[in-house]
Amino acid sequence: MSATEQGRKSVRRTALIMVAVVAGMFGFGYATVPLYNALCTFIGLNGKVSTEAVSESGGAAVDKTRLVKVQFVTTVNGGRNWEFRSEQAQVEVHPGEFSTVMFHARNTEDHDIVAQAVPNVAPTTAARHLRKSECFCFNNQPFKAGEEKEMPVRFVIDPELPPEVDTVTLSYTFFDVTQTAGKSAPASPNS
What residues does each domain of the chain span? 3-43, 50-181
DSSP, res 111: S
**Residues 43, 19: Cα–Cα separation, whole Å:** 35
Ranges of the chain with pLDDT below 70:
1, 30-60, 182-191
Q: Is 187 helix (H, G, I), strand (E, B) or coil?
A: coil
Beta strand segments in the chain, E: 68-76, 83-86, 90-93, 99-106, 113-122, 130-134, 141-143, 148-157, 167-176
Q: Is the pTM of this model over 0.85?
A: no
Which residues 6+ apart lie within 8 Å of 57 measured at CB? Answer: none
Q: pLDDT, tens digit, for every residue of 134-143?
A: 999 889 999 9
Which residues are CB-neighbours of 180 under 8 A, at least 6 positions away? none
Which class does domain 50-181 fall in? mainly beta
Q: What is the pLDDT of residue 67?
A: 96
Q: What is the pLDDT of residue 94?
A: 95
> CB of 65 within 8 A of CB of 161?
no
